[in-house]
Chains A and B, each alone.
Chain A
Amino acid sequence: MIQHACFADTLLDAAKEVFETMIFMDLQLCSEPGRRVDGEALMATITFSNSIEGCLAVCTDTTCAEAIAINMLGLEAGADLSVEEVSDAIGEVANMVMGSIKSRLTDTYEGIQVSIPSVVRGRELVNSLGEKSGRVSVQVNLEDAHLMEISLLYRESAK
């Protein structure tokens, strides 16, 4: 079984790969661990299952989500975006980070199946997987400005 601390490194490395190679935004570990996303936020979640099961969540405020979407779409700063475009972009971030995590865990956990991403919008968003689950969370800064929280809820499956 993989160690809890390794999951944190895996999360961070996967997110760095996605943001640096496909979104062209600098991503660094936040200097204030435990800091939460304030105000109106978007949370993209994607579930996974097999010998390990759980949920990856990417949560950030709407300003950061719009900045991510603008970079992903190659638009000028300040461009008008629809709610759907921003949600689609954040959902794809979760999808790609999960894809990268899956590749990194494939030696330990074969055949992980991944769902399609879903996105919710609201304030003080929190996800849960119930009892006997582990939770790894990393807070990162994008472009030295925006805060984003990436969390992995997981448990060993009965399979």
Chain B
Amino acid sequence: MAKSLLIVDDSATMRKIVIRTVRMSGLDFDRTEEAGNGAEAIEKLKQSPVDIVLCDVNMPEMNGIDMVKKVRAELPTCANTKIIMVSTESSQDLIDSILREGANGYITKPFTPERFQEKLSPFMN
């Protein structure tokens, strides 16, 4: 069954790269949306929840960690939304703390289509 996807990154270039990499991974999304920071993402999720969010960590206005906290605390309509962080930040402490806040996975940059396949496919059924 096709799923919906929200890509959150302050770099428009990186959002395009993520879209292309998801496509190359063979995963099927019938709706893909974009947001430039956590606050924009929250607004989009309030209007229309998605199945999977791919989210950068370091962003202006609202970073990825605060976005995860807000989604888990204030958006019950997104209780089933899977949030996968995508970042160059690779310290295990940071990854552990983000997962504790409610993220469902973590992909470090640079990434490959195979990595997306591995991390996202468990949430596609």
Chain A contacts to B: CB under 8 angstroms: 17-18, 21-22, 69, 72-74, 85, 88-89, 91-92, 95-96, 98-100, 102-103, 106, 110-111, 114, 116
**Quick one: which of B13, B20, B58, B89 contacts A69, CB cutoff 8 A?**
B13
B95 CB to nearest chain A CB (Å): 12
The binding surface of chain A is classed by DSSP as: helix
Give the chain B neighbours of A103 by CB distance below 8 A: 90, 108
A88–B110 CB distance below 8 A: no
Q: Is B2 an interface residue (CB 8 A)?
A: no
Q: Mark B86-124, 1 if CB is under 8 A from A, else 0.
A: 011111010000000000000011111000000000000
Total chain B interface residues with beta-carbon distance under 8 A: 20
Q: Which residues of B contact A114 (CB under 8 A)?
A: 88-89
State how many angstroms separate the Cβ of A27 from the closest Cβ of chain B.
13
CA distance A140 to B87 in the complex (A): 25
In the complex, besides A17-B110, A100-B88, 11 extra interface pairs with C-beta distance below 8 angstroms are A22-B111, A72-B16, A73-B17, A92-B11, A92-B13, A96-B88, A99-B108, A106-B91, A111-B93, A114-B88, A114-B89
Contact of B90 among A17, A18, A72, A102 (CB under 8 A): A102
Query: Is B90's CB under 8 angstroms from A89's CB?
Result: no
Q: Which B residue's beta carbon lies closest to that of A102?
A: B90
Contacting residue for A98 out of B11, B17, B88, CB 8 A = B88
* Minimum CB distance partner of A75 in chain B: B16
